[in-house]
Amino acid sequence: MSLGRHPGTDSLLLTGLDDFLGPPDGHGGRVRIHDERRWLGSCREVARVLPPENPPRTLVLRGLAPSDRLLSALRVGTRRARDLDQCRLEIRDDHDGLVADLLVRPAVQAWQPSAHGRDLIDVALTGSLPPMVPDHVRLLWERWFGGPPGALGEWTALGTRERWAWLDLVREHGCRTARTPRPPGSAVVLDGRQVTDEPSLYLALGEAVNGPGGYFGGCTAALADCLRGSFGWTPPGTLVWRDSATARRHLSQRLAAEGQTYGLFAGILEILAEGGMRVTLA
């Protein structure tokens, strides 16, 4: 987030990022601000300043292989037929792996035969479209278009915001990939050198269990689900957590949205133990 003076007033404007969690609608009293690790300041009252609404957008899909149902609707040509109701927009990598799966309610504005191949079309869609992909997410998508990671730790050079976006891609891929469960009694090793924030905790744990780009939970509830099986792990087993002092230092004292202090590191150890994963801290 960034802080700057709001034009025409003596107040400061706090600009939140796309994942910024602000006070509830209608709140006008005192607000304290933190970044989940430390308190940053406070103010007497707060008012929301919303950006102008975006104009209607058009999404153009080039080289689309249409289904028979879509072709029938296009040939009818009426406005009602071109209203496609709820559709799934799948974005795939160069190896036909799924990068993102979005629900949309579009209407066909125009279409024509495509220069990208026989029986393909170019189609322009309007209506209820997915939000614009932020620039920091777009760069990561471009990396994943070549396929999922082939080496451990490709996320380690990213900042916290980008790590959350990387975790979204890992989750999308991991929840749709079949895995051979490890037999009971297996041991895995977690490289904890870069576990300095919450997303890196789940990214490192996912790679420890399922290899490069592996998924093993993206929040405490999802981690507990993964420990029950079908995500590459069969309890009981052992996790050797190397350089665990890094995570203990960065994740022991966290601030929840409402400001309560909690220990994420200790909470994760408890969830792992309850799920049959014995943890050896190294």
Residue range 44-62, pLDDT digits in tens? 777 666 666 667 789 899 9
**Two structure tokens written together for 207:** 């790679």
Residue 2 confidence (pLDDT) above 70: no
**Two structure tokens written together for 61:** 């899909």
- Residue 3 has a pLDDT of 53
Q: What is the pLDDT of residues 209-253, one digit of tens each?
A: 999 999 999 999 999 999 987 788 999 999 999 999 999 999 998
* Percent of the chain at pLDDT exceeding 90: 48
Q: Does domain 136-281 have CATH number 3.50.50.60?
A: no
**Two structure tokens written together for 94:** 């160069």
CA atoms within 13 A on the CB side of 217: 23
**Two structure tokens written together for 238:** 């052992």
Bridge partner list, 41: 33
* Distance from C-alpha of 84 to C-alpha of 103, rounded to nearest angstrom: 12
Q: What is the CA radius of gyration of the chain?
A: 23
Rounded mean pLDDT of 53-81? 86
Q: Closest by alpha carbon to 253, among 28, 39, 37?
A: 37
Q: Which amino acid is at 160?
A: T
Residue 144 confidence (pLDDT) above 90: yes
1: confidence class by pLDDT, cuts 50, 70, 90: very low
- Residue 179 has a pLDDT of 78
- Residue 242 has a pLDDT of 97
Rounded mean pLDDT of 99-114? 90
39: confidence class by pLDDT, cuts 50, 70, 90: confident
65 neighbors 120 (Cβ within 8 angstroms): yes
Name the most confidently modeled range: 72-76, 133-137, 173-177.
72-76
The chain-wide mean pLDDT, for the chain, equals: 86
Domain boundaries, the chain: 2-43, 59-131, 136-281
- Alpha-helical segments (H) within 116-238: 135-144, 160-174, 198-210, 220-227
**Residue bearing the bigger pLDDT, 100 or 154:** 154
Q: How far is CA 229 from CA 92, 194, 215, 232, 273, in A?
A: 27, 26, 13, 7, 14
pTM of the shown model = 0.79
